Amino acid sequence: MILRKVWGSVWNRSSSGKDPVTNHHHRTIQVPVSSLSSSSSLGAFDQLPMDILVQILIMVEPRDAVKLGLTCKAWQCLASDNRLWIFYLQCCQEPWDSIFFAETSLRSGYPLRMVSCQSGELSFMRIYSQRAQVPGSIIIDEFIIVEGGSGYCKYGWSKYASPSGRSATFLEFGNIESPIYARLQQFFATIFNRMQVKPSMQPIVVSLPLCHFDDTESAKASRRQLKTAILNVLFDMNVPAVCAVNQAILALYTARRTSGIVVNIGFQVITILPILHGRVMRQVGVEVIGFGALKLTGFLKEKMQENNIAFQSLYTVRTLKENLCYVALDYKAELSRDTRASMEVAGEGWFTLSKERFQTGEILFQPRLAGMRAMSLHQAVALCMDHCDAAGLTGDDSWFKTVVLSGGGACLPGLAERLEIELQDHLSSSIYNGVRVVPPPCGVDTAWHGAKLISNLSTFPGPWCITKKQFRRKSRLNLW
């Protein structure tokens, strides 16, 4: 009944011409509801509290709320109120905190420029409209196997809540010569066929692998060569625009940060990458080679063999590791507890693990248990923090005190809490103060969800993507 009265009042006032219709092409100006002047009239609704009027608007569709705002200045102020459009944005698939972080921190594109985080300076009405017009993009994450990869490619639409498909990654990054073009082309064609889409219809977001960790000229050249090969293939397939971002940066965005340290426990390498305002600071990073998820799986395999637990394949061991293993907060205390747990693996029956469950993850902190002479995880992270502190890249040290875990090997329960405890013992009190370790925000799909944040931005694809024309022009300029 209230809504009928609202519409009756609106259209009566509109048709009578008592209030001029506001030009909808003007620039929206944020006006607090409390600042409505006494001369601004809402007709029969002047007697209702403003909060009640906002609740009435919430009950209508966004399109109708916009129409209502065109009738007079008073309704326009109500219809453009941020509270209303925040409510509409909260009804989207993405969590509100993700939307708010993206729209206040990532709008400027790469490289990031500092944007004020005060929501009052943004018109969420305009943001809602812009996000509704953003074209759906295809996200392809981890399509190249490197020493830091997991071997599984995740792909899907940016409008979906999670990847729509996964496939074993058969493309191995090595020598970037002529065969890489054909192999990339074959791989992307396979993904497009599986998704039943035409490459020319939407932008593509790809995650760049954590390869060639160091900051030498040869490493930079190899990274550029790989990125150029990817862009060449996609633009030859008539993709309209491409956004290529480092996996570690995407993982950091998923954790709602633009600065911090990303610890990627990959297939055979642990990579610790400091990131400042969305840019990788390789000169102060740390890498532990030959120590990653494969070593964890191999150690569990040895323990199962020692305890006469029969299995048919390494896939079974990996499945048990991902579902039963965890990291103990206190290793010595855990040894005296009953930690038995069982699960069924399809095709092989039931398996029961006990101490192997936490001994597997313990080698990250005590590599000698697996016969390795390598730097432990907490030592590597502490060393990276010391590098960041000594480099003095900013006026304060808060930027590197958020540690985000990523990669399949980082998904072990208890790993973040244990790493935080160990860092306290290996860092000076001044550096440790404020340190926070964040587990993989979206598990093995963390980088994919970072790409999703970018893909659904109100400013996408503009500042984040490179078009075919821009790429060809840049390539010609580089030749000279």
CB 158, CB 205: distance < 8 Å: yes
Strands 349-353 and 269-276, how do they pair? unpaired
What is the structure's pLDDT at 61? 85
Q: Which residue has the tokens 């050249």?
A: 221
Burial of 272-294, coded b for 16+ CB within 10 Å and e otherwise, reads: bbbbbebebbbebbbbbeebbbb
Q: Which CATH superfamily is domain 138-255+446-476 in?
A: ATPase, nucleotide binding domain (3.30.420.40)
> Candidates 3.30.420.40, 3.40.640.10, 3.30.450.20, 2.60.60.20; correct CATH number of 260-291+374-442?
3.30.420.40
CA–CA distance, 26 with 217 (Å, rounded to integer)? 50
What is the structure's pLDDT at 331? 97
Residue 458: CB atoms within 10 A of its CB come to: 20
Q: Which residue has the tokens 């010391």?
A: 386
Residue 154: CB atoms within 10 A of its CB come to: 24
CB 347, CB 359: distance < 8 Å: no
What is the structure's pLDDT at 266? 84
What is the structure's pLDDT at 109? 87
What element of type H or E holds 424? helix 415-426
Domain ranges of the chain: 47-111+120-133, 138-255+446-476, 260-291+374-442, 293-368
CA–CA distance, 241 with 65 (Å, rounded to integer)? 34
* All residues at 6 or more sequence positions from 465 whose CB lies less than 8 Å from its CB, including other chains: 203, 241, 242, 243
What element of type H or E holds 86? helix 82-90
CB 362, CB 369: distance < 8 Å: yes
Cite the DSSP H helix spans in 196-292: 217-236, 247-254
169 phi, psi to nearest 5 deg: -80, 120
Series of mean pLDDT values for 10-residue runs along the chain (480 residues): 57 50 34 44 72 79 86 82 89 88 91 60 90 93 62 88 83 54 88 94 91 78 88 95 95 96 90 94 86 92 95 93 97 96 94 97 96 94 95 91 94 97 94 96 94 95 93 71
* All residues at 6 or more sequence positions from 457 whose CB lies less than 8 Å from its CB, including other chains: 102, 103, 106, 107, 131, 134, 464
CA–CA distance, 304 with 352 (Å, rounded to integer)? 10
CATH architecture of the region 293-368:
Alpha-Beta Complex (3.90)
What is the structure's pLDDT at 39? 46
- Of 463, 394, 455, give the one whose Cα is nearest residue 203: 455
CA–CA distance, 270 with 278 (Å, rounded to integer)? 20
Q: How far is CA 50 from CA 4, 29, 35, 149, 466, in A?
A: 18, 19, 11, 54, 45
Query: Judging by beta carbons within 10 Å of its beta carbon (0-12, 13-18, 19+), is residue 46 exposed, middle or buried?
Result: exposed
Question: Which residues, listed in sequence order, are joined to residue 342 by a DSSP beta bridge?
Answer: 352
CA–CA distance, 374 with 73 (Å, rounded to integer)? 68
- Of 122, 126, 105, 123, give the one whose Cα is nearest residue 114: 105
134 phi, psi to nearest 5 deg: -65, 130
Residue type, 78: L
| Fold agreement (138-255+446-476, 260-291+374-442) | yes
CA–CA distance, 170 with 153 (Å, rounded to integer)? 9
User: CA angle, 162 as apex, 157 and 165 as ends, to 5°?
Assistant: 70
- Of 265, 175, 272, give the one whose Cα is nearest residue 225: 175
What element of type H or E holds 180? helix 179-195
The whole-model pTM stands at 0.86
Q: How far is CA 81 from CA 8, 32, 52, 76, 122, in A?
A: 22, 7, 13, 9, 11
CB 33, CB 54: distance < 8 Å: yes
CB 372, CB 379: distance < 8 Å: no
In the chain, what is the greatest distance between 2 CA atoms, to the nearest angstrom?
A: 88
CA–CA distance, 70 with 66 (Å, rounded to integer)? 7
> Candidates 1.10.1060, 3.15.30, 2.30.29, 1.20.1280; correct CATH number of 47-111+120-133?
1.20.1280
CA–CA distance, 199 with 189 (Å, rounded to integer)? 9
